[in-house]
A and B are shown apart, each in its own frame.
Chain A
Amino acid sequence: MADIASSPDGLTPASQTLLRHYRSQVVTRRVYSILISLGVLAALVMAMGYANAANSGKFFDRLPYMFDFIKNFVPRDPLEIFRAMFGLESPYFDGSAKYDYTAGGVYLTDSLYIPSFVYQLIITVNIAVVSTFIGAGLAFCLCFFAATNLVGAGAVRWFMRRTMEVLRAFPEIVIAGLLTAVLSIGPIAAIVAVSLHTVGALGKLFFEVVENADMKPDEGLKSVGATWLERVRYAIVPQVLPNFVSYTLLRLEVNVRASTIIGAVGGGGIGEVFRLSIGRDYAAQTYAIIIMLLVTIIVIDQFSGWLRRRLVGNQGFELARGSV
């Protein structure tokens, strides 16, 4: 905006000095901006070169394959997708697993059954819900010990916060892998892995909420001689509960995605089925799973968004996303 006062004539000497300083500041700022942009750009180009070299196929060599893959990866007729989704028999069934949509269905009675993919999806969503409950419960118990306004002992707080940090940063696949080695493949590994990460992520958000709580109710309770537990229960918890619930719901959205991914590396559920079906070129099944996952995630996102708005109004929750 240096051109707003482009004619310095008619200005007092003091104003002219001011203008000069302003301009030199603008120049410095621009130089810094340009330098930073160039630096980031250079880093980007270098990183892209590195990534391209490290990939098993180069980007431009593989691009035609990518398009071929998309072009050829179509089911024999669009209805196949729905047959796969609902576990109906396919007219193309030739004994191979590619067109065998009925396998893996869970029969409740002779005629009433849960299609295979729906059942796997239920497993995945259940993993997410259970680990959100467990994680939120543990985080709820721990978060008060990490809050400055409730715990005086610095060592306790330090220990709690570091524990949460480590839980947050610990790679989920390692926990899942270790438990898979012990318990063999199954959803328990995924539950434990996702729960532990949830404790770390929610614990941090929770204790920040606790630290921002109004301390007047706490003082009131303290003045009538309430114990620490009573103070937390009657002064802090009622204030923070809506925020806690809303963060937990946000976490649920994240956990549905996480349990899908963990499923793909050995936790079972829809993630694993998806990995296998795309790896084996089962187009109809793959698209069926994509659609089901998409719908599930959108439904859960919308539901939790609606509930959160009812609980705490329109807050900028996405701001917390990175720390989640």
Chain B
Amino acid sequence: MSAISAAERIRLEKKFPDVFRHIFARRFGLPFGIGLTLLYLVFCWFFFGVGPAVQNGKWDRAAIYVQDWYSWRAQPRLRFTDDAVVPQWSSRGQYAEGATIDWLTPHEDGTMTATFGRDSDRLDISTTRVDVYVGGVAYPVTITEDGVFAPADVPPAIEQDRQKVLVDYGFAGQAEIRANQVSIQRRFLGWANFLYDPKSPLWGHDLFSTLGLIFSGERVVPEMSNAELVLKEWLGNRAWQHGDILAKLVQTLVMAFIGTLLATLVAFPLAFIAARNITQKRAANWFMKRFFDFIRSVDMLIWALFFTRGFGPGPIPGIAAIFFTDTGALGKVYAEALENVDDKQREGIKSVGASAAAVNRFGVVPQVLPVFVSQSLYFWESNIRSATIIGAVGAGGIGLKLLESMGTNSDWDKVAYMVLLILLVVFVFDNISNAIRSRLIGTANS
């Protein structure tokens, strides 16, 4: 921006004195405000102890948790018996019993080979020694009575930790060699057994072969058709609990739906009492508005916990919490909308001698109904989110399921799955309610 001459400047200053008069608050208000905010944030840094908390955080575990979102771990323990290495899986193992696993090959002499992504990264495991291959180079790790010992000058991927040896292959996995067993964590991209669990007769099928099964002939089990079997096995997946998760998701949606709808139905008549121009009794207006303010201001959390105590965990306390909070909020919004109606239509109806009910029905409701409905749709949308959260404090639904899965600290893939489902549902309902709204009030996006 170019400068102007001094004469021009004086002329402008004379012509528009208001523009050039600096009010202190206007001139320094913004930097002052920003400075205060920063000071406050610094204070909170110490108030909440952010520094120490971040320092003490288990960030290595955080990396594992985040990896768990999009990948899965196979965790066999290879136990040493007298003369052979025997894999042992937890009850929630991802492989069916006796399945051939391409990265874990047993040999006839009782030894075992575990590969980590490629042939040059592998463990040749016998009961007396483990040959650790890192990048194609072998490092023999000897197993004795007193412990496990790696040779000298090993690369950083191999680490001697007192009596055991740790091997780290990065994303592909880790191994922990002890005197009596080798624990292996082998990580793969994707979600294991997302379709069927290992105990299912359909285990091993992917999406395409499943489609093939549904549309092709022979029955896998004689009792039911393939489509039925696929649905049953998928919903009944023991590892992923699709049926349970979907039911919980529906519970959350139902909570938001019933809560908002009941709140709408109750707030609708009450708002007519609260509106100054419709009910001409000051006391009734005041009382109704304070009532709305009161139930709106009691936090949803309070309602939720209160009703959870009364009704037990499940969707009912969630519905009640949403119903109470939103009756207040919707009542307030509706009353405001009613107070802004155009009086001409009411006067027109009144002038032909209609009763009070008819005046409201034909003079007021047609004006406010689109606004009411679109408000309720907004609330429904936001209540889907609220229902997720109050579900977590005990009202059930997907929120509680999320909290439980996070509590185990090993089901982060399931958490990711539920998050995706929630995002999808929110997205779909967003679009539905936007479509209804734009048809009602005729604006494209608001």
Q: Which residues of A are in contact with B by a Cβ distance under 8 Å?
A: 1, 40, 43-44, 47-48, 50-52, 54-57, 59, 62, 65-66, 69-70, 73, 123, 126, 129-130, 133-134, 165-166, 169-174, 177-178, 181-184, 186-188, 191, 221, 224-226, 230, 257-258, 260-262, 264-265, 271, 274-275, 278-279, 290, 293-294, 297-298, 301, 316, 318-319, 321-324
Contact = CB atoms under 8 A, between A and B. Distances in A.
B293 interface: yes
Nearest to B248: A54
B396 A54 contact: yes
B443 to A, nearest CB: 11
B1 A230 contact: yes
Nearest to B349: A1
Given A57-B314, A170-B423, A318-B332, 13 more contacts: A1-B362, A56-B312, A169-B385, A171-B399, A171-B422, A174-B406, A174-B415, A181-B62, A186-B49, A261-B389, A261-B390, A264-B305, A264-B393
A57 B313 CA distance: 8
B389 A173 contact: yes
B220 interface: no
B315 interface: yes
Contacts of A51: 251, 254-255, 258, 314-316, 319
Contacts of B375: 318-319, 321-322
Contacts of A183: 53-54, 56-57
Interface string B333-353: 100100000000000000000
Given A51-B258, A265-B392, A278 B309 contact: yes
Interface stretch (B141-149, B271-279, B296-304): B296-304
A202 to B, nearest CB: 14
Closest 6 A-B residue pairs measured CB to CB? A322-B378, A55-B314, A66-B310, A177-B406, A51-B315, A56-B312
Contacts, number: 213
A133 B41 contact: yes
Contact of A182 (B59, B315, B336): B59
B307 to A, nearest CB: 7
Contacts of B415: 174, 177
A174 to B, nearest CB: 6
12 contacts: A50-B251, A56-B314, A70-B310, A169-B426, A171-B419, A181-B62, A183-B53, A261-B300, A261-B301, A318-B375, A322-B378, A323-B378
B388 A322 contact: no
A262 B302 contact: no
Given A181-B406, A290-B298, A171 B385 contact: yes
Nearest to B317: A55
A31 B319 CA distance: 30
A36 B398 CA distance: 29
Interface residues of B, number: 80
B406 A178 contact: yes
A258 to B, nearest CB: 8
Given A51-B258, A51-B315, A321-B379, A181 B65 contact: yes
Interface in B366-381: 375, 377-379, 381
Contacts of B402: 171, 173-174, 177
A171 B389 contact: yes
A301 B329 CA distance: 13
Contacts of A66: 307, 310-311
B310 A69 contact: yes
A191 B50 CA distance: 11
B314 A54 contact: yes
Contacts of B301: 257, 260-261, 264, 271, 274-275
Contact of B312 (A57, A129, A265): A57
A50 B381 CA distance: 20
Contacts of B257: 43-44, 47
B250 interface: yes
B311 A55 contact: yes
Contacts of B306: 278
B393 A265 contact: yes
A177 B403 contact: yes
Contacts of A186: 48-49, 53
Contacts of A52: 316
Given A171-B419, A177-B406, A182 B396 contact: no
B332 A133 contact: no
Nearest to A245: B33
B237 to A, nearest CB: 20
Contact of B403 (A57, A173, A260, A278): A173
